[in-house]
Amino acid sequence: MEAVIMQLCASFVKGQARIKRTKGNTKEFSKKLAEASFRNVIKIHDRHGWMKSNFHIKEDIPKKGLII
């Protein structure tokens, strides 16, 4: 569980996530808006392809293996 939390924190920092502290103008997410958003994501992936993050690279593991 700790590893999942650390991964989320690293993702938020790398993506420069921010927490909105004031309640703003909230709209309901309708099915129509969800479908439009999904189509937009598909168009972006069709144009640019799917990107993999570098989070899966383990630089901290020695090449000879772990010593316990």
pLDDT of the residue at 40: 92
60 vs 36 pLDDT, higher one? 36
Tokens coding 23: 């309640």
| SS3 category, 6 | helix
Query: Residue type for 59, please?
Result: E
pLDDT digits (tens, 9 = 90+) for 47-59: 877 766 555 555 5
pTM: 0.37
| C-alpha dihedral (59, 60, 66, 68), degrees to nearest 10 | -170
Average pLDDT, the chain: 73
pLDDT digits (tens, 9 = 90+) for 5-21: 888 888 877 777 777 77
